[in-house]
Amino acid sequence: MQQSNEVTTAVFDLAVIGSGPGGHEAAMRAAKAGLKVCLIEKGALGGVCVNWGCIPTKALLRSVEVLELCQKAGTFGVVAGIPSFDLAAAVKRSRNVVLKLSKGISFSLGKAGVEIIQGEAVFRGPCDIDVVRDGAIAASVRAAQTIIASGGRSRKLPGLEPDGERIITSKEALALKEVPASMIVLGGGAIGVEMAWFYSKAGTAVTLVEMMPRILPLEDEDISLALQRSFAKAGITAVTGAKLENVVKNPDGVSATLHSDGDGTREIGAELLLVAVGVSGNTEGFGLEQAGVETSRGFIVTDAVCRTSAANIFAIGDVRGGMLLAHKASAEAAIAVKAACGGTPEPLDETMIPRCVYAEPSVSSIGLGEKEAEAKGYTVRTGRSLFAASGKANAYGSLDGLVKLVFNDGDGRLLGAHAVGHGSVELIGELGLAMKLGVTAEQLASTVHAHPTLSETVREAAENALGH
């Protein structure tokens, strides 16, 4: 690798690699703590979350939410013409949202005094990093400590490598110019579910294929089954306990053999195949072995405070593994920076991390599911309340779904909270605080909730657990 002209070595207290939710949060916190910080980013500021993940996905989902509301306008007494969907315009709007947020991150980092270095980081040792642009070393950094926040990428399956035309990932799905007539979505996790719902509402005939017995297999069973029923009513075909084999690309699309537990074997075809089978960490190409950083199964190995096998290097976010969520990366940033500054941070408890899926109805959860709690030895008491009984849900015309709360029968403490329904993601803040504070069923039930709000369903679920 060539060095461009003469490159001097810049010295920093902390180098941050990657500008996603974890990376830019870490850089900001460290700068505010008085450290001299640089942030190295090879792409657009904001990482996958801002540019090709959370933000553009939610912007597009909002577009089809508006479309669906327009289609139902007559039921609300609103007389309107027949709406149509312009995917190109929706994508353009989503990219404008992305650009605004990316510029905001740049401004905030600059204001905090963080030096942004554009290029790809390559370790030469635990403290030395070359920054490569266009195949040449454009900058050299010596950092007392480094936080790796390089994020993740879509996992690839043998024989299903994306070509950007017939076999795509969620990244390509966020930038299509036309709505495909049909699509197979392989993977019933959060990304697959959100993409299936979006394209179904946009007018695509969608078949969602999941290997496990139900979609969102890591969520509480009652919640994922409720979403599956809502998808069926919306015309989304979800095939669970299924495998996709013998995938063949042709000029009109893809064809494959679908094996499912319930329906046996059949041939299936679609214009596009979207592969959404998980994420692996971005651990390759930047010399982790030179820095003495250990990896395992595609992720960087760390201890409870995000420290790697190299004592001065930390890893946070998707590249660290665990729950692959933006807000988890941000929480880990706070832990890593505190440890880098010599503090003793409290390790992150993954049961306290909320999870959200932004389909319609949306799904939100935190803590343990009912069966998960029982497997850990708890005697549980559950409470349920249907949104169909909510005055606000009826006023909105969105009746699907429920809130399910899981309590420890011994002391009444909340072990897990789960919801599926319109607006359920906006309830997770209260439930997360309740988990954090060890709130009991009695305390939740006795808390006055404003009427009419969807949050009343939380109180009613707690009352149900108490037998009221």
Please confirm, yes or no, whether 451 is among the known catalytic residues: yes
Average pLDDT on 268-272 reads: 97
Per-residue confidence (pLDDT) for residue 255, from 0 to 100: 96
Confidence of residue 263 (pLDDT cuts 50, 70, 90): confident
Fold classified for 167-277:
FAD/NAD(P)-binding domain (3.50.50)
Per-residue confidence (pLDDT) for residue 234, from 0 to 100: 93
Q: Is 51 a residue whose pLDDT tops 70? A: yes
Confidence of residue 1 (pLDDT cuts 50, 70, 90): low
- Map tokens 């993954």 to a residue: 350
Q: Is 68 a residue whose pLDDT tops 70? A: yes
- Domain map (residue ranges) of the chain: 2-154+280-350, 167-277, 361-465
Average pLDDT on 68-77 reads: 95
Backbone angles phi, psi at 42, to 5 degrees: -90, -15
Q: Is 6 a residue whose pLDDT tops 80? A: no
Average pLDDT over the chain, rounded to an integer: 95
Domains 2-154+280-350 and 361-465 fall in the same CATH topology: no
Confidence of residue 103 (pLDDT cuts 50, 70, 90): very high
Q: Is 442 a residue whose pLDDT tops 80? A: yes
Q: Which of 327, 418, 422, 451 is catalytic?
A: 451
Average pLDDT on 272-284 reads: 95
Residue 195's closest CA among 338, 100, 58, 329? 58
d(CA 440, CA 450): 20
Say what the pTM is.
0.94
Tens digit of pLDDT for each residue in 362-371?
999 999 999 9
Tens digit of pLDDT for each residue in 88-97?
999 999 999 9
Q: Is 262 a residue whose pLDDT tops 80? A: no
- Report percent pLDDT > 90 for the chain: 95
Q: Is 423 a residue whose pLDDT tops 80? A: yes
Tens digit of pLDDT for each residue in 112-133?
999 999 999 999 999 999 999 9
Average pLDDT on 164-178 reads: 95
Confidence of residue 2 (pLDDT cuts 50, 70, 90): low
- Report percent pLDDT > 70 for the chain: 99
Per-residue confidence (pLDDT) for residue 156, from 0 to 100: 87
Per-residue confidence (pLDDT) for residue 441, from 0 to 100: 98
CATH architecture type of domain 361-465: 2-Layer Sandwich (3.30)
Q: Is 335 a residue whose pLDDT tops 80? A: yes
Per-residue confidence (pLDDT) for residue 3, from 0 to 100: 54
Average pLDDT on 8-30 reads: 97
**2-154+280-350 in CATH: which number?**
3.50.50.60
Q: Is 460 a residue whose pLDDT tops 60? A: yes
Tens digit of pLDDT for each residue in 315-324?
999 999 999 9
Per-residue confidence (pLDDT) for residue 468, from 0 to 100: 83
- Map tokens 């932004």 to a residue: 358
